[in-house]
Structure 1
Amino acid sequence: MIGMIGIAVVFVMVFGGYVVAGGKLGVVMHALPYEMAMIGGAAIGAFLLGNDIGTVKTTLRDIGKVFRGARWKPGDYQDLLCLLFALVRLARSNPVALEEHIEGPGSSALFARYPRIAADHEAVDLICDTLRAASMNYDDPHQVEEMLDKRMEAAGHHALASSHALQSMADALPALGIVAAVLGVIKTMSAIDQPPEVLGGMIGGALVGTFLGVFLAYGIVAPFATRLKAVAEEDGHFYILIREVLVANLHAHPANICVEVGRQNTPHDKRPSFADIEGALRAAKEAA
């Protein structure tokens, strides 16, 4: 919702201010389709040229995040802590029983309790791979933490691909606007024998290209890129929580302490209270 409000404010303030100041929208609207075709088409072509098909698809899919926001909500962080508590406790009490959950998370009763987490392959793989490695005696906390850091760094780089692609487009749009404006000037110069009122309209239409390139760059595309980056970084905290709990487990802390470490490393606006976690863990134990 806030994304739609932001777009509405940008358009109302820019075009409303122009009209209130005495500007005529007729010139802008007349030139807009042609300038938009040149600038928008060139921007899309450059976007396709500068990115592979995977990045293109990911970017198109991620644009919705500008309006939806981060994937992981406060309840998901609480569910993740409950899931990790159950897995850590099981790893301590019955390593053999743990194996069926980490080798087949799709059929695991533990993972099935938290369908949103179970549907995220990155989270499930991160949990299962780390617990599996610990069962194979790869359990040095510092080495595992370093390995998880590198893995999450790679995942974070991939998550930011859409933001980088849109930012590159935003950087190019003002220059493409100048290209369109220069073409408009060339068209105007070829009609230099026309009366001043005609030339004025043609020059105004040419300047629409410069306006449109700058407007799209800094009013639409760059904010989209910034928002996608913020969402990717916000969702990244979910995987950081997994790292913190599993590394705490390798330090041989009790399961409830591991969960508390994760809770305290949860972003403030997503962090469940200590009482909420205690209640959720108690309910999970009763359900088990």
Structure 2
Amino acid sequence: MFLIIGGIVVMASVLGGFVMVGGQIMALWHLNEVIVICGSALGAYMIATPPKVMKAAFRAPLGLLKGPKYRRQEYVDLLKLIYEVLMKMRREGMMAVEADVDNPEESAVFQKYPKVMADHHMLDFITDCLRLMVGSNMNPHELESLLEYELETHHHEALEPAHSVQKVADALPGFGIVAAVLGIINTMSVVGSAPPSEIGLKVASALVGTFLGILIAYGYVGPLATAMETRANEDAKAFEVVKMALVASVRGYAPTVAIEFARKLLFSDVRPTFADLEADLKAAKG
């Protein structure tokens, strides 16, 4: 919602200020300038960006409109899932969760949390980590190091769309200058044969190119890239929470303590209180 509101505020502020000094809004609309700036920016983006990253970048605005993937309740469900798995391992042994890990879709534990099941990246991360715990003799330091490498790779991949869009924002003022230069070239070609009024209109049209390039870059594409980066950082927190809980368990801490370690990593706006989470864990245990 704020994505749309912010875009409207930017446009209303720019156009409102222009109109207040007597400007005509249609004087800012030149389709040829839009084609030069946006078309060349899109072409350069296609040259520089792998198809996988490009598809993710085009899907990102829709994801921003939907809101974050993990809110307070989703984090509670995630912690409850990890808690139940750790409790089962503590009561019945490490091998007791082998069937759950191999077939989470058929697991009675995993089926209780459909929102976590719907996140395939998270599900794969959890099951892969549990396989390492069940099928290997890795010590806590080795497991933590391996998971940190995996999270670093995952986070780098998640940030690629935002970084690619930011590069477009950095280039847009330059494409605005290209459009302006083309307009000046067109203006100079008619100097001496066209009346001053026509030359003035052509110069104004050329300056609109610089205006549009700067406005699109700093008013829309740059902030969009920042929002995408922020969302990627927020989504990465869920993976860090899982890593902390599992590593704490391997170090020998009780499931309740391991989950508390994970809770401490959450941002304040999505972190459940100790008492609320304890009540949820007791309900899951019951």
| TM-score class normalised by the smaller sequence | over 0.9
State the shift of 1:70 in Å.
Answer: 1.8
Question: Is the 2:95–2:134 contact (alpha carbons within 8 Å) kept by the matching residues of 1?
Answer: no
Partner residue in 2 for 1:229: 229
Deviations 1:124-160 (A, max 9, x none): 1221112211122333111111111110010001111
Specify the alignment match of 1:131 in structure 2.
Answer: 130
Counterpart residue number, 1:198:
198
Deviation at 1:161, TM superposition (A): 1.1
Corresponding residue number in structure 2 for 1:72: 70
Using structure 1 for the length normalisation, give the TM-score: 0.96
Query: Aligned AA for 1:74?
Result: R
36-45 vs 132-141, greater mean Cα deviation: 132-141
Provide the residue aligned with 1:172 in structure 2: 171
Partner of 2:103: 104
2:246 alignment partner in structure 1: 246
Residue 52 (structure 1) shift: 1.3
Establish whether residue 220 from structure 1 lines up as the match of residue 226 from structure 2.
no
CA deviation string 1:198-233 (max 9, x = no partner): 110110001100000011000000000000000000
Corresponding residue number in structure 2 for 1:9: 9
Number of aligned residue pairs: 284
Q: Counterpart of 2:118?
A: 119
Q: Distance in 1 between matches of 2:82 and 2:26?
A: 61
Farther off after superposition, 67-76 or 153-162? 67-76
Range with greater deviation from structure 2 (229-238 or 121-130): 121-130
Distance in 1 (CA, whole Å) between partners of 2:153 and 2:126 is 16
How far apart are the structure 2 equivalents of 1:143 and 1:78?
A: 28
Q: Which residue of 2 aligns with 1:81?
A: 79
TM-score, with normalisation over the residues of structure 2? 0.96
Kept after mapping to 1: 8 A contact 2:176/2:211: yes
In structure 2, C-alpha distance between the alignment counterparts of 1:267 and 1:247, rounded to whole Å: 20
1:18-65: per-residue Cα shift (whole Å, max 9, x none)?
A: 110222223212x2x111111111111111111111111111111223
Task: Give the percent of matched residue pairs that are identical in Structure 1 and Structure 2.
Answer: 37
Paired residue type of 2:212 = L
Return the offset for 1:285: 2.2
1:279 aligns with 2:279: yes
How far did 1:71 drift? 1.2
Structure 2 contact 100–107 (Cα < 8 Å) conserved: yes
Structure 2 CA distance, aligned partners of 1:256 and 1:5? 42
CA contact (8 A) 2:37 2:209 kept: yes
Range with greater deviation from structure 2 (203-212 or 58-67) = 58-67
Moved more, 194-203 or 17-26: 17-26
- 1:253 is paired with a residue whose SS is coil
* Alignment match, 2:211: 211
Supply the distance in 2 between the matched residues of 1:209 and 1:114 (Cα, whole angstroms).
Answer: 52
1:110-129 alpha-carbon deviations (Å, 9 max, x no partner): 11111111122221122111
Name structure 2 gaps, 5 residues minimum: none
Distance 1:246 1:155 in 2: 18
Q: Which moved more, 1:9-18 or 1:132-141?
A: 132-141
**Deviation (angstroms), 1:93:** 1.7
Question: Which whole-Å CA distance do the structure 2 matches of 1:223 and 1:165 have between them?
Answer: 13
How far residue 254 of structure 1 moved from its aligned partner, in angstroms, is 0.7
Aligned-residue CA RMSD (Å): 1.1
Aligned AA (1:198) = E
CA distance in 1, matches of 2:67, 2:153: 22
CA distance in 1, matches of 2:118, 2:203: 55
Task: Classify the secondary structure of the residue corresponding to 1:142.
Answer: helix
